[in-house]
């Protein structure tokens, strides 16, 4: 399996532009920090050292995650040298390491970045690396697919749903089972406001975080990212703008991050909050009864929410003989036997049906999240690849303009579509 020359030409063609573009995507789960000085990637010692880079600096050497990495190394007969980076830093470091010819053997990377690294020629395909993806849910795998090729294996996924305040809804006379679509959700918000409480909070900040939170409503309208100003897409912006106009959602959403909107919900005055699986631990500490439902689609059912989470990939190496051991490491990390422990440690929903069933059996509260992940889709799916950030930025700008009242939803999305079309040609 000699792929050195083809991969080298792919890498040389794309690395320069990719490094410039790498800062545009954000992660949903990682925090800042590090786990010591970076290891020199790709430089194996005579004793058999393989390097793994990940975006989980919050997990130190005593964590279950790092113990799993070490265990997989032991099973493969090598020593694992792991370095953790902040997500954005990891992307830039990975591009530079590939440019310098010292990429890590295994790279765990936020799923929207896969397209950037793949187009830069940094990653091997699963065909080249002989990684088995047959059991992976197709909607999750799609985030790592470009031009018919797959670049890695998803380690797990998180996504968005609606948390709700049981106590507040009961006082407002709202039956949560009645909330099935946009109309019934809006009717519930009206009842909550009439009861003197606040309706819903979310993040509409002018960053990728805002686009991430808007996408369930956008996709739930039936809209496609290649046509931002479609009637469906405009209706999603109009829904949010109408909520602010009627006082069902606060003006603070324009500047809210997912963290600050969660803090608003945790105060107990809001009936609903759009947020993710990463808030499950915080939700367990709330001082009021709460639950979760999927984000409803416009006409009912579960809206496709964007997937967060990482892929485990194998970067291109000059020494292709290393791939056989790297493949063992990736297979170990993503195997059914280890997936339950991995997804539990990282607060993710598993990428395979078999392990999801185990997760729900152990924690019935995950049922809603499994349902949401099952309906979710990658931001770079539909073969958008590196076009996605060029669409997302004008989209979040349009949402901001509509919510602030400076532009109508129709005008805001028409201008966003023009900007996106110009940037992606």
- pLDDT tens digits along 247-261: 999 999 999 999 999
Query: Does 290 share its domain with 416?
Result: yes
Query: Does 205 share its domain with 169?
Result: yes
Q: Give me the mean pLDDT over the 343-355 stretch.
A: 90
Q: Does 307 or 16 have the greater pLDDT score?
A: 307
Percent of the chain with pLDDT over 90: 82
Q: Give me the mean pLDDT over the 390-403 stretch.
A: 97
Phi, psi of 256 (to 5 degrees): -65, 135
Q: The CATH number of the domain where 36 resides is what?
A: 3.40.190.10
Please name the helix (run of DSSP H) or strand (run of DSSP E) that holds residue 71, with its range, or none: helix 64-76
Query: Does 164 share its domain with 265?
Result: yes
Q: Does 270 or 342 have the greater pLDDT score?
A: 270
- Per-residue burial over 9-33, b if 16 or more Cβ lie within 10 Å, else e, is ebbeebbeebbebbebbbbbbbeee
Phi, psi of 51 (to 5 degrees): -95, 140
pLDDT of 263 strictly over 90? yes
pLDDT of 277 strictly over 50? yes
Structure tokens, 91: 């992307």
Query: Do the Cβ atoms of 240 and 409 come closer than 8 Å?
Result: no
Q: Predicted confidence band at 341 (pLDDT cuts at 50, 70, 90)?
A: confident
Range of the domain at 148: 4-157+308-375
- pLDDT tens digits along 123-143: 999 999 999 999 999 999 999
Query: Does 27 share its domain with 59?
Result: yes
Query: Does 401 share its domain with 419?
Result: yes
Burial bucket for residue 359 (CB in 10 Å: 0-12, 13-18, 19+): buried
pLDDT of 82 strictly over 80? yes
CA distance 218 to 236: 5
Query: Does 397 share its domain with 364?
Result: no
- pLDDT tens digits along 165-222: 999 999 999 999 999 999 999 999 999 999 999 999 999 999 999 999 999 999 999 9
- pLDDT tens digits along 221-247: 999 999 999 999 999 999 999 999 999
Q: Determine the Cα angle at 371 with ends 367 and 377, to 5°.
A: 145
Query: Does 210 share its domain with 254?
Result: yes
- Per-residue burial over 128-138, b if 16 or more Cβ lie within 10 Å, else e, is bbebebeebbe
Query: Does 151 share its domain with 250?
Result: no
Q: Predicted confidence band at 344 (pLDDT cuts at 50, 70, 90)?
A: confident
- pLDDT tens digits along 302-322: 999 999 999 999 999 999 999
Structure letter (DSSP) for residue 35: S
pLDDT at 342: 84
Closest CA to 291 of 376, 159, 177: 177
Weakest-pLDDT range from 13-27, 302-316, 387-401: 13-27
Beta-ladder partners of 54: 84
Phi, psi of 169 (to 5 degrees): -65, -35
Structure tokens, 13: 């063609």
In the three-class reduction of DSSP (H, G, I as helix; E, B as strand; rest coil), residue 260 is classed as helix
Q: Predicted confidence band at 67 (pLDDT cuts at 50, 70, 90)?
A: very high
Query: Does 32 share its domain with 121?
Result: yes
Query: Does 391 share its domain with 364?
Result: no
Q: Give me the mean pLDDT over the 70-87 stretch.
A: 94
Question: Which residues of 267-358 form beta strands (DSSP E)?
Answer: 270-276, 290-293, 310-313
Contacts of 169 (CB under 8 A, 6+ apart): 175, 176, 188, 192, 271
pLDDT at 332: 95
Q: At what angle do helices 323-334 and 64-76 cross, to 10 degrees?
A: 140
Q: How many domains does the chain have?
A: 2
Query: Does 92 share its domain with 201?
Result: no
Q: How many CB atoms sit inside 10 A of residue 345's CB?
A: 17
pLDDT of 285 strictly over 90? yes
pLDDT at 362: 92
Query: Do the Cβ atoms of 99 and 8 come closer than 8 Å?
Result: no
Query: Does 117 share its domain with 235?
Result: no
Question: Which residues of 243-332 form beta strands (DSSP E)?
Answer: 270-276, 290-293, 310-313
pLDDT at 359: 94
CA distance 393 to 209: 10
pLDDT at 281: 87
- pLDDT tens digits along 21-52: 444 444 443 333 334 334 444 443 334 999 99
């Amino acid at each position: 399996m000699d792929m050195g020359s083809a991969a080298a030409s792919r890498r040389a063609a794309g690395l320069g532009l990719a490094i410039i573009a790498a800062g545009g995507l954000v992660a949903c789960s990682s925090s800042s920090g590090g786990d010591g000085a970076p290891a020199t990637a790709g430089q194996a010692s005579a004793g058999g050292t393989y390097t793994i880079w990940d975006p989980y600096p919050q997990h130190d050497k005593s964590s279950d995650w790092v113990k799993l990495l070490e265990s997989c190394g032991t099973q493969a007969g090598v020593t694992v040298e792991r370095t953790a980076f902040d997500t954005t830093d990891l992307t830039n470091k990975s591009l530079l390491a590939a440019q310098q010819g010292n990429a890590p053997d295994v790279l765990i990377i936020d799923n929207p970045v896969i397209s950037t690294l793949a187009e830069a020629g940094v990653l091997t395909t699963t065909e080249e690396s002989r990684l088995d993806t047959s059991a992976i849910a197709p909607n999750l795998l799609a985030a790592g697919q470009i031009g018919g090729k797959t670049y890695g294996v998803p380690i797990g996924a998180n996504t968005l749903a609606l948390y709700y305040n049981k106590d507040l809804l009961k006082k407002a006379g709202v039956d949560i089972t009645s909330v099935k679509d946009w109309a019934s959700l809006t009717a519930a918000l009206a009842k909550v406001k009439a009861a003197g409480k606040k309706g819903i909070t979310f993040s509409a900040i002018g960053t990728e975080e805002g686009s991430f939170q808007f996408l369930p409503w956008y996709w739930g309208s039936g809209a496609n990212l290649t046509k931002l100003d479609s009637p469906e897409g405009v209706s999603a912006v109009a829904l949010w703008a109408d909520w602010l106009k009627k006082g069902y959602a606060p003006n603070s959403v324009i500047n809210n991050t997912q963290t600050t909107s969660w803090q608003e919900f945790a105060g107990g005055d809001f009936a609903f909050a759009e947020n993710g699986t990463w808030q499950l631990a915080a939700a367990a500490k709330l001082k009021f009864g709460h639950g979760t439902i999927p984000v409803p689609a416009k006409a009912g059912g579960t809206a496709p929410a964007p997937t967060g989470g990482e892929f485990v990939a194998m970067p291109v190496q000059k020494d292709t003989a290393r791939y056989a051991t790297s493949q063992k490491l990736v297979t170990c990390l993503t195997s059914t036997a280890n997936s339950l422990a991995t997804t539990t440690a990282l607060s993710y929903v598993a990428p395979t049906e078999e392990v999801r069933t185990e997760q729900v059996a152990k924690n019935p509260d995950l049922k809603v999240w499994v349902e949401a992940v099952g309906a979710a889709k990658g931001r770079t799916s539909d073969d958008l690849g590196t076009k996605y950030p060029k669409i997302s930025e004008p989209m979040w700008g349009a949402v901001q303009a509509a919510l602030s009242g400076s532009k109508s939803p129709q005008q805001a999305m028409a201008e966003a579509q023009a900007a996106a079309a110009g940037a992606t040609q």
